[in-house]
Structure 1
Amino acid sequence: MFATGLLMRITKLFDGDRTLWEVIHKRKPSLTRAHAFGAECWVHIPAADRTKSDLASPKAWKGKLVSWPNERSGWGVYNSKTDKIIFSRDIKSSPPGHDDTVSRQEEEPEPPAVVTIEDFIDFDDDDEDQVRNDDEPRRRLPAAAEQREQPQEVVGVGDRPIRQLPRRAGRGQHSDWYRQNFVMFIQELEGHLFPISPTDKDPLTYDEALSRPEPERQKWIDAIEREFNSLIKNGTLEEVMVPEGVNVVSTKHVFKTKYDANGNFIKRKDRCVARGFTQEYGVDYNETYAPVARMSSLRIFLVMVIVHSFVVWQTDVETAFLNPDMDRPLYIEFPKGWDKKNPKATGLLVKKGLYGFKQSARLWWMHLMQTLEKLGFGHSETDWGIFLRKESDGSITIVFVYVDDILIAAKTQATIDSVRDGLKQAYTMTDI
């Protein structure tokens, strides 16, 4: 970790002008607070973690510097007493009481702007029973709590990892309006805040969906009808007389309320899925493995986009599993709510890769791979979720695949358009 952090700051890239750290962070690195590997330092102990009744309790502990502040928050310091690596932003190169300055993370990002909770919630949604009074002061989420002690992350060296969670600040209770109208979970990741949609408990069964009060009940009925019509239109299911002795797989409905990125209601959605756990290996399916790109590959993908100034396009394949044909005859029971057209039919023949079947994900990946191969792509030998194509000008076009989510990076927009048009001829795509 230490060597990697140093090399990122001093090694020039192929253009001989910038380092990788400068390319990523858009500014030159600073080595004014650089320390030698294994250098002795002192790590500040937050006041909340010290024994208040003991005035003689130490305010810092002695350790050895082993990591630059890269992906984690703060320097990595090895504690020989606990055999742990502590990541902290409050370290000194001399014992407490000296006039030495605190060595903080020189690449510390600027604190994000203050974000109000109202920015994430649509209070005009039909499902809300109460409306916020404009005279009530807004609650604000602190973007950077400068007054608080920085939480420390602990990584085990000799045993399993441990995380020391920050103590809960005593700032009083939230108002009744806050608790009754929404619950928001904020996940802090690399300095960003990601809002999750308001709480809306979706029905778990078909009967529960139909027992909901109006107008929610009708919205679920409409969602079920849209799902059935989609399966019929795509040729996924066919009413047949099921042969005797074959395994008939049961089905269920999966209900989901869709929201946009700001937490605003979009629609009610239903997915009819097979209960794949009732399939029999060797009879109903064989291979099930479906490659997806690794997250480490995504990081490399993003670095290449930055270094080479690639154009990026993101898309989602609608009903991806319903595109490939099923690899063998499979049958399911009539789902609840299905309006049977053939009175003699005893079940449904599955002709496409219906969601829930064990082989559906693999069939989809193979279908997508064949489509990309027709467009001139080949998968990476180290990660089968990455597809590459060399262009006539010598540049590389990269396709990153994670199930039905696709990222495309290329040198020019024209190349992006050619790949996008090729995919849209085979699938229904939704640009993101």
Structure 2
Amino acid sequence: MTKRTFSAKGARATECLGLIHTDVCGPMSIQARGGYEYFITFTDDYSRFGYVYLMRHKSDAFDMFKAFKAEVENQLEKHIKILRSDRGGEYLSGEFQQYLIDNGIVSQFSAPGTPQQNGVAERRNRTLLDMVRSMLSYSTLPISFWGYALQTAIYILNDVPSKSVPKTPHELWTGRKPSLQHLRIFGCPAHVLKGKTEKMESRSETCIFVGYPKETKGYYFYSPSDLKVFVSTNAKFLEKDYMNDFVPRSRIVLNEMSGDTIPREVTQPNPIVSSDPTQDQQPTIPRRSGRVRTQPERYIGLGESVENLPDDDDPYTYKEAMEDVDSRHWQKAMQSEIESMFDNKVWSLVDLPKGIKPIGCKWVYKRKRGMDGKVETFKARLVAKGYTQKEGIDYEETFSPVAMLKSIRILLSIAASLDLEIWQMDVKTAFLNGSLDESIYMM
């Protein structure tokens, strides 16, 4: 006997708050700043607009739902009709169920052992954690900042297109198109204007961008010198320098702990008592989950322990690529790159002249993903270590043949006004088609 299959689509809500999907994730293997170990998500079925709340205890789910309900019903002047969840104890409590009955909200539970019936919430949690790992990997922040990364991830998801809805979740939820001009790279450094300073003292401080505050316009910044998070609007972001210089960490281990995960013993000399998420907190403490999990597949792709955590991070070295689960795809990608170099006559094999110091090379690997987060292609690039070259000695000028966004907008506007068709193309290994005036020796 086998489990029955489920259809890919179900009946969709026809208006905002018609159906809310929710799920609790945690306890996480690393405690977030503020002492948070769990988070709960609420996703509107009609718009796919989402909310996320950090929690210290799973029992806080009821309070988080009441806060969510009060906010969204007041904003939209509508009422929640259906709440769909799994059969977690936090949702089955008598207090929670009585509250739903008193407010006329229909409670829908997934059947035991069938997380597919709560697939929207399950997938939302997986997407959020994938984004959190990526953001932390490309930052110098400790993993305890996953709470800020999580809030940033849901903020971004609400503003970008989704295959599930015809418009962005933000537009369907608010009726207004979102603006993306204020978005910044999570974890990038920034020069933040200080308050009052002495005449001879620096007027700015180098901090790290960690998110968008909900209560006010501005940005969250982390001060490494004060070990505190604060809000400011006066900052100069160093995104270009950050992306050029930074090397991502190879792997971020952040996953939901299962009931049989055995945490290691740690001590905490000063217990956390503050509820302010912006204050500095003590090191994280892994905890044993009190929830019994009968189906480890619940969070598909996230894993229930470190051993089962899928390694979707891009390899950093050739050795890592050959040891990767997708080593066969990386080999094909490298072979394609070498063939393209031969076809374009990028280099030729010669003896190294005396007195010439060659520059090194390395492979750069990248998984290209679609809008749904699935891997579409595997890219491998053989690149020279250009950062070892010196301007004025090894080269004179640098170029970046990238069209300005204003130019693209003008082109699209002209095409729209004249009812023309726009065709998009991609030149394979486009950078190999350029010509060099200098002689460069690489090995």
Q: TM-score, normalised by structure 1?
A: 0.34
Q: Hey, which of these two has a bigger chunk of strand by percent?
A: 1
Q: Hey, which of these two has a bigger chunk of helix by percent?
A: 2
Larger Rg: 1
Greater RCO (Cα-Cα under 8 Å, separation 6 or more): 2
Q: TM-score, normalised by structure 2?
A: 0.33
